[in-house]
Structure 1
Amino acid sequence: MTTLENRPGTALLVVDVQNGVMSDAYERDRVVATIGRLVDRARDQHVPVVWVQHNDESLVAGGEPWRIVPELSPKDGDPVVQKHHADSFEATGLDELLAGLGVGRVLVTGAATDACVRATLHNALARGYDTTLVGDAHTTGPLPDGLGLPSPDQVIAHTNFYWAQQTVPGRVAATVPADQAISAGRV
């Protein structure tokens, strides 16, 4: 139902699953394993896997914190998009890359839920993509104490809930578990 013409394809976005981002992430090992299984299914179904890496003063390109976690790795030919802002589309070639692949639907996974994942979700939907959050394949780290902020599990649950409630003309926003995101013969 995307508003992007002649773009029936789906892509899996793996956002900022980097050592420095994931080091203290909530349920890190479970989320990384879930993303790994999803990446394998995407590849089996010929769904492009697009890796996104954040670059800033704490995630300097080439440094260990910047690297994708060792349990996951792009294959030769997998696109890797470098970004400097929370939104994976802002000042990157992601939109053009997806257009070239004929993609009108994105499945979003990664970190951090309350920053880069949310920003990417919102901008994808605003740009015309059907945008699905994989509810058990994103995470965040602890937020500062003493400010009354929610715990990581509450941030994740709230994001899963509110993303499933989004409505916009001609596009679909959804939250699904990984085992429903990519099924044999149906993406």
Structure 2
Amino acid sequence: MTTLAGRPNTALVVIDLQNEVVANAYRCNEVLDAVNVLIERARTAHVPVVWVQHTDEDLKEGSEAWQFVAELAPAPGEAVVEKSYRDAFEDTDLEQVLSRLGVGKLIVTGAQTDMCVRSTLHGALVRGYDATLVSDAHTTEDMTTTGAPTPDAVIRHTNMYWSKQRAPGRSGGVIESKDVDFAPCGP
């Protein structure tokens, strides 16, 4: 249960599914398909979809690389949070967006698993949110040349690691996209 009083709602968070970010991503098409289904289910259930979009020297605002992938697009009225750090809460209006929506539980999807997704999950948990990672709706690219594990190992490890995350009064967790329930997290 979230520690954020009066925040019973759930939001689907879509992190950095931008052209350049997923250009070489592992299982990209499968992940985009899973996220697309989640977005449609969230919209049908009137659950907010919150989009996170990274900007930096490699992802210049307005560039083709910076744009969300063609398969996914924010609907009119859906929040888009611009960020320049891995944790989507750092120096952004994400907290204000979620507060305005009464959100205390996050269902998290996106890219890169071992950078922005994981950092945002931690950022959410330490700020009082319940944060659930969708096991088949996040991805990363192959960075084995820099000493990282293979993408499938990064994803498996992150799913295992986050499945046991807890903090006083709040929880992490991992769920498959088919099992996501967009019901409120409590009164």
Counterparts of residues 16-35 of structure 1 (less than 5 Å): 16-35=16-35
Runs of 4+ more than 3 Å apart: none
- The percentage of aligned residue pairs carrying the same residue is 51
The offset of 1:186, in angstroms, is: 6.8
Number of equivalent positions: 185
Q: State the alpha-carbon separation in 2 of the partners of residues 118 and 84 from structure 1.
A: 15
Show the counterpart of 1:157.
156
User: Contact 1:41/1:182 (CA < 8 Å) preserved in 2?
Assistant: no
Letter paired with 2:171: V
| 5+ long unaligned stretches in structure 2 | none
The offset of 1:41, in angstroms, is: 0.2
**Residues 31-74 of structure 1, C-alpha deviation per residue, up to 9 Å, x if partnerless?**
00100000000000010000000000111010000000000000
User: Contact 1:42/1:182 (CA < 8 Å) preserved in 2?
Assistant: no
Secondary structure of the structure 1 residue equivalent to 2:155: helix
Show the counterpart of 2:175.
176
Normalising by structure 1, we get a TM-score of: 0.96
* Residues 145 and 77 of structure 1, relative CA distance in 2, 3 Å threshold: same
Show the counterpart of 2:86.
86
| 5+ long unaligned stretches in structure 1 | none
User: Contact 1:11/1:106 (CA < 8 Å) preserved in 2?
Assistant: yes
The offset of 1:144, in angstroms, is: 3.9
Show the counterpart of 1:166.
165
**Residues 127-186 of structure 1, C-alpha deviation per residue, up to 9 Å, x if partnerless?**
000110011000000104263x21000000000001011121100111000111136x67
Q: State the alpha-carbon separation in 2 of the partners of residues 131 and 94 from structure 1.
A: 14
Secondary structure of the structure 1 residue equivalent to 2:125: helix
Q: State the alpha-carbon separation in 1 of the partners of residues 85 and 21 from structure 2.
A: 14
Q: State the alpha-carbon separation in 2 of the partners of residues 179 and 46 from structure 1.
A: 18
Q: State the alpha-carbon separation in 2 of the partners of residues 25 and 137 from structure 1.
A: 12
Counterparts of residues 52-131 of structure 1 (less than 5 Å): 52-131=52-131
Secondary structure of the structure 2 residue equivalent to 1:106: strand
User: Contact 1:132/1:176 (CA < 8 Å) preserved in 2?
Assistant: yes
Q: State the alpha-carbon separation in 1 of the partners of residues 146 and 24 from structure 2.
A: 19
User: Contact 2:8/2:184 (CA < 8 Å) preserved in 1?
Assistant: no
